[in-house]
Structure 1
Amino acid sequence: MKISGNTVFIPGSTSGIGLALAHALADKGNTVIVGGRRTDLLEKIAAERPEFGTVRIDTTDPASIRAAADEVLAAYPDLDTVIAMAGVMKVEDWHRPEGFLESAEAVITTNVLGPIRLIAAFIEHLQTRPSATVVTVSSGLAFAPLKATPSYNASKAAIHMLTESIRLQFVDTNVEFKELIPPSVATDLLPGQRDSSFAMPLDDFVSEVMTILESQPEAKEIQVERVKYLRYGEARGDYDEVVNTLNTADPHGN
C-alpha cells in the first residue's frame, strides 16, 4: 500500500481511531471518504474538512452496506482502498444468558459480519483497480484475552484468522490485505478508556501507524510497538504472564 494517491473509504470513521486515521491519510494526499451511522457527525466532519466525502452507512445492516457501496463507487470510481474500521466493544458477564447473549450477538454482527459484508460489497470493484488494499482491524485482544469482553476478543480473533485466510486466496491478485492491530488506545470504545493511564494516546498511535505504512509498505500486519506485548506472548513463551498482567492491570485493554 502506497502512502499517498489512494482513494480510501473508511466505514466507522466518525470518531476515534477511524477519524484520526482519516485526517492523517488526507494530510498525506489521499482522497478520503468517511462513513458512519450518525448524519450529524458526518455533517460536522464535512464542515471541518470539505474535501472529505461523507456517506451514511450502518455496518450492521446489509441493505445499508449495499446502498453505501453503490453511492461510494458512483462518486469515486477510482476507489482502491477500504478500511473496515467500524467496531463495538462491550463488557459481558457469561454466568447468565441475560448477561451476555444480546451483547454477544451485537458484537459479532458489527465486528465480524460487518467487515465480511463490506468486503463482499467492494471486492469485485477492487479487483478491477491496478492495485488495491483492504485493511481489516483486529486488536491485541485477538492474541491475549481481556476477561471482561469475551465476545469482543473472539470477534477480533476471527478477524485475524479471516484476514490471514483471505490473504492466501488473493496472493496472486492485485488486492492486498493488511491487518491493523491496535493496543488499548485513548478513545471512547469503552467508558473511561479515553482517560485510562494504560491507553496509548490517539495521536501517538495514528502517527506510528502512518510511519509503519510509509516505511513498511509490504507489511501484512500493522503493529505499533505497544501491541507486540500482547501479539507475541505465546511465541515468546510468556502467554500466561501476559494474560495475568492484562487482566490485573488494564481494564481497558483492546
Structure 2
Amino acid sequence: MKTTGNTIFISGGSAGIGLAIAKKLNAEGNKIIINGRNEERLQNALQQLNNAVAIQGDLSVEADRVRVAENLKNNHPEVNVIINNAGAAFAYLLNETQNAHEKAAIEMNTNYFSVIHFTELLLPHLVQKKEAAVINISSIAVFGSHKMLPTYGATKAALHSYTLALRQTYEEQHNVQIYEVYPPLVNTDFSAEIGGANGIPPSEVADELFLALEKNQFDVPVGDSKQFFAKDLV
C-alpha cells in the first residue's frame, strides 16, 4: 500500500489512537479527514494537523453514518482509505450490574454493526480506486476477555471475524486491501478507567500501522499483541 498521497478518513480521529494515526499519516504526506461526535474536540484536533478536514457525526447512529458517507463521496471523492477506529467500551463487573445486556448492545452496535454498515456504504466507492484500503482498529481483546471488560472482547472478536471475511472477499481484487490493527492497553482517555496510564503511547500504534502499510502486512499486532502472532510476521 502506498504510504503517501492518500486521502484518509479516520473515525474517532479527534483524540487517542485515532488522532495519533492522523498525525503520523498526515506527516507522511497524506490528506486527513477526521470524524468524531464532539465538534469542539474535532476543531482542537485540526489545530494539530496540516490541511485536514473534520466531519462531525456519531457513526453509531445510522442516519449519521449515511450522512458522513455521502459527504465523503460527494465532497471528498478522492478518499481511498477508511480507518474504522471509533469504539465504545464499558468497564464493570458482571456481579455488580443488572444491565450488562444494555452495555453489550451499545458496544456491539458501535464496535461491530456500525463498522459493517459504514464500510458497506463506502466499498462501492473504494473499489473504483487504483489503490484503496479498509483498516479496522481491533484489540488485543480479540484473544481473550477480562473481567473488567466482560462484553467488550466479544465485540472485537466479532469485528475480527468480519475483517477476515472481508479480506478473503477482496483478496483477488488487489486494489482493495484489508488491514486489522490489534492495540494492547494504550494510554488514552478512552482507557483511563481500566488503567490506561500504564499502557503504551498511542503513537506506537500509529508507527506500527505505518510500517505495516509499507510492507502490505495486513495483520498489525502492537506491543503485547505480538505474542499471538508468528515470529516471521512481527
Q: CA deviation at 1:147?
A: 1.9
Query: Hey, what's the Cα distance between the residues in 2 that align with 1:171 and 1:211?
Result: 20
Cα deviation digits, residues 150-203 of structure 1 (max 9, x gap): 221001111111111111111122211110111111112233457533x11222
Query: Hey, what's the Cα distance between the residues in 2 that align with 1:8 and 1:49?
Result: 13
1:226–1:60 CA distance, 2 compared to 1 (3 A): same
Residue 190 of structure 2: aligned partner: 189
Cα deviation digits, residues 54-107 of structure 1 (max 9, x gap): 101211111101101111222211111000000011123334762412211110
Cα deviation digits, residues 199-252 of structure 1 (max 9, x gap): 1122233223323332x2x211011243123x35xx99xxxxxxxxxxxxxxxx
Query: Hey, what's the Cα distance between the residues in 2 that align with 1:195 and 1:228?
Result: 19
**Which residue identity does 1:177 align to in structure 2?**
I
What 5-or-longer segments of structure 2 have no aligned partner?
A: none
Residue 29 of structure 2: aligned partner: 29
Counterpart check, 1:175 vs 2:173: no
Residue 221 of structure 1: aligned partner: 219
What count of residue pairs does the alignment treat as equivalent? 230
Query: Hey, what's the Cα distance between the residues in 1 that align with 2:150 and 2:116?
Result: 20
**Which residue identity does 1:12 align to in structure 2?**
G
Query: Hey, what's the Cα distance between the residues in 1 that align with 2:67 and 2:141?
Result: 32
Query: Hey, what's the Cα distance between the residues in 2 that align with 1:220 and 1:50?
Result: 27
1:60–1:187 CA distance, 2 compared to 1 (3 A): same
Query: Hey, what's the Cα distance between the residues in 2 that align with 1:35 and 1:24?
Result: 16
Contact 1:36 1:58 (C-alpha < 8 Å) held by counterparts: yes
Q: 3-state DSSP class of the match of 2:178?
A: strand
Counterpart check, 1:20 vs 2:28: no
Q: TM-score, normalised by structure 2?
A: 0.91
Contact 1:185 1:194 (C-alpha < 8 Å) held by counterparts: no
Q: CA deviation at 1:9?
A: 0.4
Residue 165 of structure 2: aligned partner: 165
Report sequence identity in percent: 28
1:96–1:194 CA distance, 2 compared to 1 (3 A): closer
Q: TM-score, normalised by structure 1?
A: 0.84
Contact 1:187 1:193 (C-alpha < 8 Å) held by counterparts: no
Residue 140 of structure 1: aligned partner: 140
Q: 3-state DSSP class of the match of 2:226?
A: helix
Query: Hey, what's the Cα distance between the residues in 2 that align with 1:203 and 1:176?
Result: 23
Query: Hey, what's the Cα distance between the residues in 2 that align with 1:78 and 1:211?
Result: 23
Contact 1:66 1:121 (C-alpha < 8 Å) held by counterparts: yes
**Which residue identity does 2:32 align to in structure 1?**
V
Contact 2:212 2:218 (C-alpha < 8 Å) held by counterparts: no
Counterpart check, 1:61 vs 2:61: yes
Cα deviation digits, residues 34-69 of structure 1 (max 9, x gap): 001111112222344351011012111111011011
What 5-or-longer segments of structure 1 have no aligned partner?
A: 237-254
Rg comparison, structure with higher value: 1
Counterpart check, 1:154 vs 2:154: yes
Contact 2:9 2:83 (C-alpha < 8 Å) held by counterparts: yes
**Which residue identity does 1:160 align to in structure 2?**
H
Contact 1:187 1:194 (C-alpha < 8 Å) held by counterparts: no
Deviant stretches of 4+, over 6 Å:
none
Query: Hey, what's the Cα distance between the residues in 2 that align with 1:202 and 1:94?
Result: 29
Query: Hey, what's the Cα distance between the residues in 2 that align with 1:156 and 1:195?
Result: 18
Q: CA RMSD in A?
A: 2.0
